[in-house]
Structure 1
Amino acid sequence: MRYMATYDMMESIRNTNQWLGASALAMASYPAFSLFPNPAMEWLAAWGEVTERSFARMVVKPDWNIPPVVGAKGQDCLVSIEPVMERAFGDLLKFTVQGREETGRKVLLVAPMSGHYATLLRSTVISLLPDCDVYVTDWHNARDIPVSAGKFDIEDYTLYLVDFMHHLGPDTHVIAVCQPAPLTLAATAYLAEEAPEAQPRTLTLIGGPIDPDAKPTDVTDFGHSVTMGQLEQMMIQQVGFKYAGVGRKVYPGLLQLASFISMNNDTHRDAFTNQITRVAQKAAHEHDKHNKFYDEYLAVMDMPAEFYLSTVQRVFKEREIARNVFTVAGRQVDIGKITTVAVKTVEGSKDDISAPGQCIAALDLLTGLPDSKKASHLEEGAGHYGIFAGKSWRNNIRPLVLDFIDANNGTPERQKPQAKRPEKAERNKSKAPTKPAAA
């Protein structure tokens, strides 16, 4: 009950702040106050509007809101979303462009389970849809999963990926973003031994902690500074009576959000202060840059406690993936068994979550893969978000990834990407793997 009480207390604090924002907006918008101009009331209304919106978004799963894709004849083709595999802790979604034939590029986007919904990859999906048939792993909020569904740790996560890849078949190109990169690599190695005919053609790892110690960050330092017992006492709570997962132990999304914000506290403070100013000056609008980013950033989900704890212990503390000693269901997974899947790593030079060196470490583990099937790319000036959803992704990384897919697709005729190709000098940054400086 102690953990349920703290979980419900956080929800009460969030709900109270949402109510305060709504009350301030309602009071400051009272018609009588408009008889005489009062800047104080305008600022109070602006604070209330921003506050209510921010705290309301924390418990709502965002919609995908995928716009139509322009067809070959210039017509708008609607995009439908349907689950092709439904499981207790996550579904495999397919994004179908109506009226369009298959493109020849079947892409599986492995979304992170790190506190945000899969919709965090919305812009990534939108950028790939004109040229690819896109599938996405849609992880469920642990607070909504009954205790009767059982546990879900990193071994279960890996087996989910194995099932998804096996279902999609060997003509799949997998792109893992951030947190799932090491487990996607392990899932591919698992298939290499258990079902080699189901291995994907390519695997692109974007900003993932394959070897967290290759270059330490605040995330890795925190993982090493606390014991597992301390982590469980500080971070793990039980879902309260309000949700279907009552009694399930979770790492609450609100705690994860607090951690995210604390890492760049000044940046977020300035962003909200500036937004309140813009609202008060009538310069903000529903779909401005601030709302577009924070509507997604503030929408958080709970993670199963066993998944969070096993990730910290086995991926960060014990470095089982980096040391190639990861086990699934009692059997060791040998990454060196991958011999046919082309692998590319992508890193950002200013990534403060998975620093350069952590992801490229995967290439050293692929001892059975020829160098001709290995590639790496370091995007200069890009942070963690930018390498999969920002300008760096759209203008440079995405075309390079599509080139990598085409080069290893095994299909004689392929639809060419519609995106503008980067200049030759920029494309030469994607090169054969080199040993990380910190490795």
Structure 2
Amino acid sequence: MTCLYLRSFLFSIRAKVMNLFAYPTYQAFADMMLPMRHGAALVNHSLDAWPAFGETSHGRSIRAACELLTLAGLTPVRPPFEIDSVISEGKSVAVVEEVAAHTPFCSLLHFRKETPPSVPQPRVLVIAPMSGHFATLLRGTVRTMLAEHDVYITDWHNPRDVPLSQGRFGFDEFVQHVIDFTETIGPGAHLLAVCQPTVAALAAVALMAADDHPAQPASMTLMAGPLDTRINPTRVNELAKSKPLEWFEQKLISAVPFGFAGAHRRVYPGFMQLTAFMAMNLNRHLDSFETMYYERAKGDPAKADTIRTFYEEYFATMDLTADFYLETVDTVFQRHALPLHALEVKGRLVEPSKIRRTALLTVEGEKDDICAVGQTLAAQDMCDKLRPYLKTHHVQTGVGHYGVFNGHRWERHIYPRVRAVIYDNEPRAVLVSSRARTIQPVPAATAAEVTPAAPAATAVVDVDVDAAAMDAANGTSTTSSARSAAAIKPQTARTPRRRPPAAQ
């Protein structure tokens, strides 16, 4: 009984700094609507079993209306990736999902090909955003990458299913997950971060570089991310700066209701995030629902199925922990801590200038209304100690935010550039014969020692070449890059001839 009163007292205190009743009210409404949605689904199944009526104009209209009612609800469970096979090396290869590592807040999913490729493919960690949707939002990204890469992805868990006893999850913990998962995959891996986690990815690589971590990634691709939201601020950026941090905590933070494993955990609920995103383009969404209804009613299911598939994924929402959401708003959107060299992770200053070995690719969409052009490009200036040939930037014309990582322009225009950067910087073991010889230049002789003889041959010695040792000494990695020299050709060192003495 004492514990019950103590818990009630603590919640009365928390109610002052968060919207305590938002989540329970939504959940009660969703539970009330559930029988209606199931009933609508049952009607559609009945129409399938009675095609004589289901294919009439009245039957199609009923089906279209019931489909809208069935779709009018959010799903708090991650949909399946449904990537059973992929075309690799000209043949269909089965794909198996495996959990390579696991924490209470995230699973590291590995899409393993059952038939290993003839040549090992680059290992890529796709860092999915923790912004209200599940990692399956990047299903198209993963499917495209799988053909020529060994793909891993961060599968973030819904905080409503994580007990309070598992502790907090904030921005620092997000960065630590990226570091730990990169270390799990091993040295020479590649990172690809989409949207919101680009900040955490850059911070993780900077910290690994500062520690000279052996698992520093070979390349880092940052796509449509808010690295510096002072540049071309969008409506989202302006909203984040228009209110004090306390306003976001009081209006948007609620507690997971009873009946879930994460009960009492403070979160930014997924339904609030989805509402905010849909409000930005409400007319467009209403037009899509209207189109889906009329296309289904007139008997043209192809377009209706496309719209339905999109919204089934779009309405699969997850919560964000309050710590992570508020810290992100504070550091990324209000204080601009990263571009102002003030970002700290677990008390350590994040210095992107420490990055010297990880190649950088930044990608932006011309019509992106969430992370505008220039915000991701800012990473190029932050990594000011990175050599120019390790930096690449691409702006894709004609695409918005989601078009950067999904759709035909991603597949035809953006992915080839991502692939090129990854393969150009992929560490490869170079087989060198034990009888190989390295060329050592002869020091230039002084004029007094020079004799009018035939050109002197370059000195050559027999040694065993250790590529790793050479890399360690030179501070570089052994890569097969189009931007590096293909070979060094030995040249004969010619000595200057003496001039004949002047006539006496």
Q: TM-score range by the shorter chain?
A: 0.7 to 0.9
- The 3-state SS of whatever aligns with 1:214 is coil
**TM-superposed deviation, 1:223:** 0.2
Query: What is the aligned partner in structure 2 of residue 364 from structure 1?
Result: 381
- Contact residue 88 and residue 148 of structure 2 kept, 8 A: no
In 1, the alpha carbon distance for the partners of 2:143 and 2:189 equals 18
Q: Within 5 Å, which residues of 2 pair with 1:30-429?
A: 42-55=60-73, 57-72=74-89, 74=91, 76-101=92-117, 103-284=120-301, 288-411=305-428
2:220, 2:337 → 1: CA distance? 20
Q: Deviation string for 1:176-199 (max 9, x for gaps)?
A: 000000110000000011243221
Instruction: Determine helix, strand or coil for the equivalent of 1:109.
Output: strand
1:435 corresponds to which residue? none
Displacement after TM superposition at 1:14 (Å): 2.8
| Conserved 8 A contact 2:53-2:59 | no
SS in 1 for 2:261: coil
TM-score (norm: length of structure 1)? 0.88
Q: Which amino acid aligns with 1:53?
A: L
8 Å CA contact retained: 1:89, 1:142: yes
Q: Which residue of 1 aligns with 2:485?
A: none
The one-letter code matched in structure 2 to 1:279 is: R
CA offsets per residue over residues 28-81 of structure 1, 9 Å max, x none? 99899x8899966753442222221341x522310010031234463x321111
Please give the secondary structure, in 1, of the residue aligned with 2:75: helix
- Using the TM superposition, give the Cα deviation of residue 287 of structure 1 relative to its aligned residue in structure 2, in angstroms: 8.6
Query: Secondary structure at the residue paired with 1:376?
Result: strand
- State the 1:323 CA deviation: 1.2
Q: Shift of residue 304 of structure 1?
A: 0.4
Gaps of 5+ in 1: 416-439
Structure 2 distance, partners of 1:209, 1:52, is 35
Distance between the aligned counterparts of 1:399 and 1:285, measured in 2?
29
Contact 1:206 1:387 in 2 (8 A): yes
- 1:58 counterpart SS class: coil
Counterpart AA for 1:50: L
Aligned to 2:444: none
The structural deviation recorded for 1:276 is 1.3
Structure 2 residue runs of 5 or longer lacking an equivalent are: 1-16, 431-478, 481-504
Equivalent pair of 2:293/2:304 in contact (CA under 8 Å): no
Q: How many residues align?
A: 414
Q: Tell me, what secondary structure is at the counterpart of 1:155?
A: helix
Deviation readout 1:184-218 (Å, 9 max, x if unpaired) = 00000000112432210000100000001111001
Residues 369-419 of structure 1 show CA distances to partners (whole Å, capped at 9, x for unaligned) of 11111110000111110111121110010011111111111327999xxxx
C-alpha contact 1:4 1:239 (8 A) present in aligned 2: no
CA shift at 1:16, angstroms?
3.5
**Pairwise CA RMSD of aligned residues?**
2.7
Letter in 1 for 2:250: Q
For residue 12 of structure 1, report the CA deviation from its aligned partner. Answer: 2.5
Distance 2:265 2:187 in 1: 36
Hey, what's the Cα distance between the residues in 2 that align with 1:410 and 1:350? 35
Give % identity: 35
Kindly tell me: are residues 141 and 342 of structure 1, through their superposed partners in 2, closer, same or farther at Cα, counting changes over 3 Å? same
TM-score of the pair, normalised by structure 2: 0.77
For 2:136 and 2:258, the matched residues in 1 are separated by 27
- Separation of aligned partners in 2, 1:36 and 1:307: 48
Mean Cα deviation higher: 89-98 or 63-72: 63-72
